[in-house]
Amino acid sequence: MRILITGGAGCLGSNLIEHWLPQGHDILVLDNFATGKREVVPALPRLSLVEGSVADRVTVDRAFDSFKPSHVVHSAAAYKDPMDWGEDAATNVAGTINVAHAARRHGVSRLLNFQTVLCYGRPEAVPIPVDHPLRPFTSYGISKVAGEQYLAMSGLPFASLRLANVTGPRLAIGPIPTFYKRLKAGQGCFCTDAQRDFLDMSDFLAAVDLVMKTDAPTGIFNVSSGEGHSIRDVYDAVRSHLKLPPDPNVKVVPVGDDDVPAVVPDPSRTKAVLGWSAQMAFPETMRRMLSWYDAHGVTDIYSHLAAAR
């Protein structure tokens, strides 16, 4: 395959590079490094880089025209400043449109999109079925929904994976790196009264491989474990991993107005259509993630929430 990955220097994109490059595929990364890291796109055979934003149509068109991809993974997204609606719209809406136009012009075999499960808003049912109404209420969620809907009307052979918390190398968002970094530094923590789904990177990569096949079903899929775990569960797991004593009195606060109490997508349709289901249990998922932090540390931490907690 000749795979163009937008946002390829981020967590998901960089893991895809490490997964696919040894298989002999050619990869072009398009990234503006707003949150991605340059060091994950080294100078290697079959790996090339275009620095720029998907919001710039000229940059997108030049990248497609020079590389001529057979497959596209659209991982680029703006989310780090919840009040910068213009940037969210430029990247997540106009940028997705730019990618869709270029992909259609080149007749790509498959376009894979990564979607946030914040698209569902505050769900009526948990686990959240894939046909649940879309009710995003944050700039990130609203703009990501708009981008996904443009792809759905594009006529492209596309799959959109609605993702919760994919854990793996270079994860820089969510409670796991936050607790790890703060507890390692001897800082205090508190937990929100929320539940989240945590999916191991290995299970994510298995799902991606399935939907990248030219004859794979198209459409929208929840890619998740289907199991909810409290933020307190995560906190306790990080403390245990760091060999810190239990903290039964840790403060647990209600979720904020810009957050969702339970984000647990239902993967049953994905299993029925793709034959995929998560294999890694939560304790092992946490162990693998925290062991990676032991070896590499935590640097930046980003959040889609309006205020740092």
CA distances from 236 to 12, 150, 181, 191, 215 (A): 26, 41, 14, 10, 43
What is the rounded distance in angstroms from the CA atom of residue 122 to the CA atom of residue 90?
Answer: 25
Nearest-CA neighbor of 170 among 280, 82, 302? 302
Domains and CATH numbers, the chain: 2-167+198-223 (3.40.50.720)
State residue 229's pLDDT score: 97
pLDDT value of position 301: 59
- Give the model confidence (pLDDT) of 234-256 as tens digits: 999 999 999 999 999 999 999 98
The whole-number pLDDT of residue 300 equals 65
Low-confidence ranges of the chain (pLDDT < 70): 300-309
What is the reported pLDDT for 299?
A: 76
pTM for this entry: 0.94
As a whole number of angstroms, the distance between CA 157 and CA 102 comes to 13
Q: Given this model, what pLDDT does residue 172 score?
A: 87
pLDDT digits (tens, 9 = 90+) for 112-154: 999 999 999 999 999 999 999 999 999 999 999 999 999 999 9
Residue percentage of the chain with pLDDT more than 90? 91
